[in-house]
Amino acid sequence: MSDAVVVALVGVVGTGLVTWVGALTRRIRRLEAENRALWLWARSLVDHIYRRKPPPPPPAPESITDDD
Protein backbone atom coordinates (compact mmCIF):
# COMPACT_ATOMS: atom_id res chain seq x y z
CA MET A 1 0.00 0.00 0.00
CA SER A 2 1.38 3.38 -0.85
CA ASP A 3 1.86 6.14 1.67
CA ALA A 4 -0.84 8.28 0.07
CA VAL A 5 -3.45 5.54 0.51
CA VAL A 6 -2.50 5.04 4.16
CA VAL A 7 -2.69 8.79 4.83
CA ALA A 8 -6.09 8.96 3.13
CA LEU A 9 -7.43 6.02 5.15
CA VAL A 10 -6.17 7.50 8.41
CA GLY A 11 -7.78 10.81 7.47
CA VAL A 12 -11.14 9.23 6.68
CA VAL A 13 -11.17 7.11 9.84
CA GLY A 14 -10.03 10.08 11.95
CA THR A 15 -12.75 12.31 10.53
CA GLY A 16 -15.36 9.65 11.23
CA LEU A 17 -14.19 9.26 14.81
CA VAL A 18 -14.19 13.00 15.45
CA THR A 19 -17.72 13.28 14.05
CA TRP A 20 -18.93 10.36 16.16
CA VAL A 21 -17.36 11.74 19.36
CA GLY A 22 -18.87 15.17 18.66
CA ALA A 23 -22.34 13.69 18.23
CA LEU A 24 -21.93 11.63 21.38
CA THR A 25 -20.84 14.68 23.36
CA ARG A 26 -23.85 16.70 22.18
CA ARG A 27 -26.18 13.85 23.14
CA ILE A 28 -24.65 13.57 26.61
CA ARG A 29 -24.99 17.32 27.17
CA ARG A 30 -28.62 17.24 26.07
CA LEU A 31 -29.41 14.31 28.35
CA GLU A 32 -27.68 15.96 31.31
CA ALA A 33 -29.67 19.16 30.75
CA GLU A 34 -32.90 17.17 30.54
CA ASN A 35 -32.02 15.27 33.71
CA ARG A 36 -31.32 18.55 35.52
CA ALA A 37 -34.69 19.96 34.36
CA LEU A 38 -36.51 16.82 35.54
CA TRP A 39 -34.79 16.99 38.92
CA LEU A 40 -35.75 20.65 39.38
CA TRP A 41 -39.33 19.91 38.38
CA ALA A 42 -39.55 16.98 40.81
CA ARG A 43 -38.12 19.22 43.53
CA SER A 44 -40.73 21.89 42.79
CA LEU A 45 -43.50 19.25 42.91
CA VAL A 46 -42.29 18.05 46.31
CA ASP A 47 -42.17 21.64 47.58
CA HIS A 48 -45.64 22.29 46.17
CA ILE A 49 -47.08 19.28 47.99
CA TYR A 50 -45.15 19.93 51.20
CA ARG A 51 -46.44 23.49 51.37
CA ARG A 52 -49.98 22.20 50.73
CA LYS A 53 -50.53 24.53 47.83
CA PRO A 54 -53.72 24.06 45.84
CA PRO A 55 -53.81 22.76 42.28
CA PRO A 56 -52.53 23.20 39.63
CA PRO A 57 -49.05 21.83 40.24
CA PRO A 58 -46.00 23.50 38.71
CA PRO A 59 -45.85 23.01 34.94
CA ALA A 60 -43.49 20.47 33.46
CA PRO A 61 -40.37 21.80 31.77
CA GLU A 62 -40.70 22.26 28.02
CA SER A 63 -37.69 20.01 27.41
CA ILE A 64 -39.64 16.92 28.50
CA THR A 65 -42.90 17.82 26.79
CA ASP A 66 -41.33 18.31 23.35
CA ASP A 67 -42.11 15.60 20.83
CA ASP A 68 -38.75 14.76 19.31
DSSP state of 58: P
Of 3 and 66, the structure prediction assigns the larger pLDDT to 3
Residue 68 has pLDDT above 60, yes or no: no
Mean pLDDT of 20-47: 95
Residue 63 is predicted with a pLDDT of 74
| Contact between 61 and 38 (Cβ < 8 Å) | yes
* Cα–Cα distance for residue pair 49/60, rounded to 1 Å: 15
Residue 26 has pLDDT above 60, yes or no: yes
Residue 62 is predicted with a pLDDT of 83
Could you tell me the residue ranges of all domains in the chain?
3-65
Mean pLDDT of 41-67: 88
pLDDT single digits (tens) 34-49? 999 999 999 999 999 9
* Cα–Cα distance for residue pair 13/7, rounded to 1 Å: 10
Three-point CA angle 65, 66, 68, nearest 5°: 135
